[in-house]
Amino acid sequence: MRLAGAVSGEYAALLRKRALTALKWARRACDEGDYDICALQSEYAVQLYLKSLLYRVLSEEVRGHDVRGLFGLLVASLFEQGVDELAREISEYVRRHRRELAELSDAHTRAVYGLFEYGEKEAKLLLEIAEHAINKLKELEERLFA
């Protein structure tokens, strides 16, 4: 399935590369016991991957940082492009993982400005959520642009 008007472009590739690098740093931070950085980089990885995919779908740069909001924009954009089945699939993914995605969205602010530090259990959970979300987005990207 190919979207009309979609772009592949260097910018999307750069964002995707940065997203995967952030995910790598999140894993490393977690392994080294730097749990705030793990949480921060986990959120950032998903945010950047979403923005890379949105750029390919919309052919324009997207501002904003809220992971759930970016997922919502992706769903709306897919519906606008007439890719209703995939839009419904992503919408269902977001619905099923609403609580986890909310925690991931909050991780950026909490890791930087929060009154407490993330512990190992919370950081590993956020890393797991990020890895799962990025795998879902990779799958979507392959189906859209194969």
Residue 132 near residue 47 (C-beta atoms within 8 A): no
Q: Looking at residues 50-59, what average pLDDT do you find?
A: 95
pLDDT value at 20 more than 90: yes
Domain ranges of the chain: 10-145
How much is the pTM?
0.92
Q: Residues with Cβ < 8 Å from 81, sequence gap 6 or more? A: 3, 4, 5, 6, 57
What is the structure's pLDDT at 18? Answer: 98
Torsion angle in degrees (nearest 10) through CA of 81, 87, 88, 91: -140
pLDDT value at 131 more than 80: yes
Listed in sequence order, the DSSP H helices in 1-146 are 10-31, 35-58, 67-80, 84-96, 98-113, 120-145
What CATH class is the domain 10-145?
A: mainly alpha
Residue-wise pLDDT tens digits, 96-112: 999 999 999 999 899 99
The CA-CA-CA angle for residues 43, 16, 94, to 5°, reads 50
What is the structure's pLDDT at 64? Answer: 84
Q: Measured between alpha carbons, how far is 14 from 30 in angstroms, rounded to an integer? A: 24
What is the structure's pLDDT at 4? Answer: 46
pLDDT value at 6 more than 60: no
Question: Chain-wide mean pLDDT for the chain?
Answer: 93
What is the structure's pLDDT at 3? Answer: 54
Tokens encoding 40: 């921060």
Residue-wise pLDDT tens digits, 62-94: 988 899 999 999 999 999 999 999 999 999 999
Q: Looking at residues 14-18, what average pLDDT do you find?
A: 97
Tokens encoding 64: 């904003």
